């Protein structure tokens, strides 16, 4: 498996997760989320009938693919299982941090101090994680961050840093056949990824993965302080 070169995994699009995690007092509070939910019901005579929403199932016609195409598909499913959970977490952190800056009306200088203060500790936590991403998983994660955050990686870097920094890392990405400026295209170039996102959102991805590999997807490693957020982003259960 081709590993992400050190210079690539260190690019700001991966460091976004490391640099933008809110650490004010509000983020430190422990929130207890009750499990389960209250179902609606109707009473018909002496019978009580519970009502709930059921996730729809989409049946795709089996495609005729060559052995090489099936192999590529299996690799795509595996890489998606490693990349998408991180993309969801990164995207949530980006949105939360942007909201924090707006709510607290932070100046650009305060934002820079805030980001730099937490940088070293977070890099120490996530360094071993991103070193174990393959190049294809890293590129896939970039595409999926764009889908979830609604912003290209180039725009994210420019928004939080500067145009010069964004330009520099666009050049680095080009060296590894990446493009931080390209928007996610769910109906075109990224339609294969969009199909897998659909499986995830309908709670069917684990079934698909099991059908291919005979086991459930391996859980990604997330440092303890991020686990509550990561758990809330898991694929729904059918």
Q: What is the pLDDT of residue 119?
A: 60
Answer whether residue 138 is part of any domain: yes
Q: What is the pLDDT of residue 176?
A: 74
The label of the residue with tokens 């969009």 reads 194
Q: What is the pLDDT of residue 118?
A: 57
Beta strands in the chain (DSSP E): 40-44, 47-51
* Residue range of the domain that includes 156: 6-20+67-232
Answer whether residue 177 is part of any domain: yes
Answer whether residue 35 is part of any domain: no
Would you give per-residue pLDDT tens digits along the chain (238 residues)? 544 443 344 444 444 544 443 333 333 434 444 555 677 878 888 888 878 776 565 555 556 788 898 999 999 999 999 999 988 887 877 777 777 767 767 777 777 776 666 566 666 776 777 677 887 888 888 889 889 888 888 887 787 677 888 888 888 878 877 788 889 999 999 999 999 999 999 899 999 999 999 999 988 887 777 777 777 777 776 6
Answer whether residue 207 is part of any domain: yes
Q: What is the pLDDT of residue 44?
A: 81
Could you tell me if 118 and 19 are in contact, meaning their C-beta atoms sit under 8 angstroms apart?
yes
Q: What are phi and psi of 195, to 5 degrees?
A: -60, -40
Is this structure's pTM higher than 0.95? no
Residue 134 in 3-state DSSP?
Answer: strand
The count of structural domains within the chain is 1
| CA 29 vs CA 22, 74, 78, 89: distances in Å | 12, 41, 35, 19
> DSSP characters for 26-92?
HHHS--PPPPS-PPEEEEETTEEEEE-------PPPPP---HHHHHHHHHHHHHHHHHHHHHHHHHH
Answer whether residue 118 is part of any domain: yes
Q: What is the pLDDT of residue 64?
A: 76
Could you tell me if 16 and 169 are in contact, meaning their C-beta atoms sit under 8 angstroms apart?
no
Answer whether residue 163 is part of any domain: yes
| CA 68 vs CA 18, 64, 81, 203: distances in Å | 37, 12, 20, 28
The dihedral sign for the CA sequence 148, 139, 12, 90: positive
Answer whether residue 33 is part of any domain: no
Could you tell me if 162 and 102 are in contact, meaning their C-beta atoms sit under 8 angstroms apart?
no
Q: What is the pLDDT of residue 27?
A: 38
């Amino acid at each position: 498996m081709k590993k992400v070169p050190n210079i690539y995994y260190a690019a700001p699009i991966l460091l976004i997760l490391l640099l933008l995690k809110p650490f004010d007092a509000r983020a430190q509070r422990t929130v207890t989320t009750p499990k389960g939910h209250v179902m609606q019901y109707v009473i018909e005579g002496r019978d009580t009938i519970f009502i709930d929403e059921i996730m729809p199932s989409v049946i795709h016609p089996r495609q005729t693919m060559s052995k090489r195409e099936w192999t590529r598909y299996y690799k795509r499913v595996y890489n998606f299982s490693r990349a998408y959970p991180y993309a969801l977490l990164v995207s949530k952190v980006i949105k939360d941090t942007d909201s924090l800056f707006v709510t607290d009306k932070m100046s650009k200088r305060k934002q820079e101090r805030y980001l730099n203060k937490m940088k070293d500790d977070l890099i120490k936590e996530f360094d071993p994680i991103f070193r174990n991403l393959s190049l294809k998983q890293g590129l896939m994660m970039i595409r999926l961050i764009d889908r979830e955050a609604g912003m290209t990686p180039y725009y994210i870097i420019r928004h939080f840093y500067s145009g010069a920094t964004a330009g520099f890392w666009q050049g680095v990405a080009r060296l590894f056949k990446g493009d931080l400026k390209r928007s996610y295209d769910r109906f075109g170039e990224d339609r294969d990824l969009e199909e897998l996102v659909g499986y995830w959102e309908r709670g069917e991805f684990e079934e698909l993965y099991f059908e291919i590999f005979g086991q459930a997807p391996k859980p990604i490693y997330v440092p303890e302080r991020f686990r509550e957020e990561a758990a809330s982003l898991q694929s729904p259960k059918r």
